[in-house]
């Protein structure tokens, strides 16, 4: 029986055993998923230094040149900055921890891409903006402080739509077609994962910023319940909706990384985070032919009025049929009526954004990219506190209506497209089209930030018409991550052909390429 260098639950050991077998079928270390990487490291069959060097080499091969501010038409440009010296030093420290004989955290030695709004003490923090050029973080963010204690390796900061204020991220190319958008705002993290430049990544989400790029780049993510992940040391967008979460190639990768983030917030020692299967998020699908038996999944009319791309519609239909085959009851239900107007949504954004950006105006207003500058100028206007409070009250009533609807209709999970279209043409320079594209992209996902509900966004595969990634989202009530992740894991097992198709498109078959 395989011996592992950590205190792991029975389900975690089962996941590691499966991952170890899968890792041995890959041709290069950068192709390993997070769980496969953890299995190789904890089985003593690879070192973090070896893996980190492989990821850095993969960046050189796949990024399309060194990191740049504006990107280029022929580059992915996932990275704002790389930290090779720090990464290798951290990897060597992780290897010492793994070989010490003491139980090591599950994530020890795993390279991580970190969105450029999440602070690492002593390193630049720029939100992919010239406004913050020369800015250096003085303290670790709460998120990184926790993951550093787990022994994770910071490979670099990833690009984003400037200040996380949009969903196009024009400086980042979609790995499946560099002429297309990688989405946003966490585009660099998604693109780095899709191309195998990094094993796991972090992003943030205010209206879809984790989920939109995950869908367009063919990776997975979990937007946790609002408030569960501490945001100290993260540059804000709209604090009443902001959250941070994991990105990975699989749902189990995201589950493991999210649980580490949550256990840090709860004060659980890193080496104990995965010791009790009753306490950590699920990491393996349930056994049996009908694991979703007893799960009630709703599909709503929220997509009505949106022009769904054919590939997206087909992906949702496929997942619906798979869910039913796995035992779920799938029902069509009208969604609760929205109480928030377009003006309300603006009022929930601009005053909150101004609380941060006022420090940069007017002196540095000219340094913002055009579409983001427009947001900052609108945020600088005077808004009545009474109007803001009234809008927050309507938001609370809408949340209550959804809570009641979920309970009365006995809905466990809502299934819908993550984005209603496949990747669109990539913009240049954050012009007016970037703002319009951002609003279109978040038509579906922003609702779940308004309600604070957790969401798993997962890839389905490549669309038959476009050959581009398509994905779906599963949504649950607040604090419902455990059952939500389990349902997603169960579904993911039936989508393995889609995952393999995504990888075949981007990963060369030769070792080390």
Active-site residues, by number, are: 115, 185, 209
Tokens of 280: 């950590």
Which residues does 400 contact at the CB level (< 8 Å), separation at least 6?
none
Tokens of 198: 């990094």
Buried b (16+ CB within 10 A) or exposed e, 194-213: bbbbbbbbbbbbbbbbbbbb
CA distances from 46 to 21, 28, 32, 105, 457 (A): 14, 11, 11, 16, 30
Cα 511 to chain center, whole Å? 28
* Cβ neighbours of 11 (radius 10 Å): 15
Under 8 Å between Cβ of 38 and 19: yes
- Token pair 């945020």 in the structure block, residue: 379
Q: Using DSSP bridges, classify how beta strands 296-300 and 329-333 pair: parallel, antiparallel or unpaired.
A: parallel
Decide: residue 134, CB within 10 A, 0-12 exposed, 13-18 middle, 19+ buried.
exposed
């Amino acid at each position: 029986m395989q011996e592992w260098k950590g205190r792991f639950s029975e389900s975690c050991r089962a996941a590691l055993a499966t991952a170890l077998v899968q890792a041995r079928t890959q041709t290069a270390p950068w192709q390993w998923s997070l769980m496969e990487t953890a299995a190789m490291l904890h089985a003593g069959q690879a070192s973090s230094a070896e893996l980190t060097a492989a990821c850095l080499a993969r960046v050189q091969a796949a990024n399309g040149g060194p990191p740049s501010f504006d990107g280029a038409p022929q580059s992915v440009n996932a990275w704002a900055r790389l930290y090779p010296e720090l990464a290798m030093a951290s990897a060597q420290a992780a290897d010492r921890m793994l070989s010490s004989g003491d139980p090591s955290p599950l994530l020890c030695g795993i390279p991580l891409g970190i969105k450029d709004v999440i602070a690492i003490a002593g390193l630049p923090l720029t939100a992919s903006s010239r406004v913050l050029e020369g800015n250096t973080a003085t303290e670790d963010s709460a998120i990184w402080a926790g993951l550093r204690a787990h022994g994770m390796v910071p490979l670099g900061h990833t690009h984003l739509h400037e200040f996380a204020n949009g969903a196009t991220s024009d400086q980042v190319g979609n790995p499946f077609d560099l002429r297309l958008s990688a989405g946003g705002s966490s585009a660099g993290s998604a693109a780095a994962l899709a191309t195998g430049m990094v094993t796991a990544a972090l992003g943030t989400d205010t209206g879809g910023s984790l989920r939109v790029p995950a869908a367009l780049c063919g990776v997975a993510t979990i937007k946790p319940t609002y408030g569960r992940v501490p945001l100290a040391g993260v540059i804000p967008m709209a604090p009443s909706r902001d959250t941070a979460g994991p990105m990975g190639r699989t749902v189990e990768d995201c589950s493991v990384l999210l649980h580490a983030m949550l256990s840090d917030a709860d004060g659980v020692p890193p080496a104990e985070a995965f010791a009790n299967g009753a306490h950590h998020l699920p990491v393996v699908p349930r056994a049996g032919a009908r694991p979703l038996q007893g799960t009630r999944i709703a599909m709503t009319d929220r997509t009505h009025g949106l022009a769904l791309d054919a590939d997206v519609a087909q992906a949702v239909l496929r997942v619906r049929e798979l869910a039913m085959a796995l035992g779920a009851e799938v029902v069509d239900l009208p969604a609760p009526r929205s109480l928030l107007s377009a003006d309300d949504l603006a009022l929930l954004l601009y005053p909150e954004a101004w609380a941060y950006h006022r420090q940069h105006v007017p002196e540095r207003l000219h340094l913002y990219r055009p579409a983001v500058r427009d947001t900052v100028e609108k945020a600088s206007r005077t808004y009545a506190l009474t109007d803001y409070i009234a809008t927050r009250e309507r938001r609370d009533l809408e949340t209550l209506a959804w809570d009641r609807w979920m309970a009365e209709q006995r809905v466990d999970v809502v299934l819908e497209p993550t984005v209603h279209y496949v990747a669109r043409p990539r913009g240049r320079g954050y012009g007016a089209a970037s703002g319009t594209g951002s609003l279109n992209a978040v038509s579906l996902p922003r609702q779940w930030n308004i309600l604070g509900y957790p969401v798993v966004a997962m890839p389905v595969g490549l669309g038959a018409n476009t050959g581009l990634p398509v994905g779906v989202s599963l949504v649950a009530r607040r604090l419902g991550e455990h059952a939500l992740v389990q349902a997603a894991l169960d579904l993911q097992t039936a989508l393995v052909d889609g995952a393999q198709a995504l990888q075949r498109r981007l990963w060369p078959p030769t070792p080390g390429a």
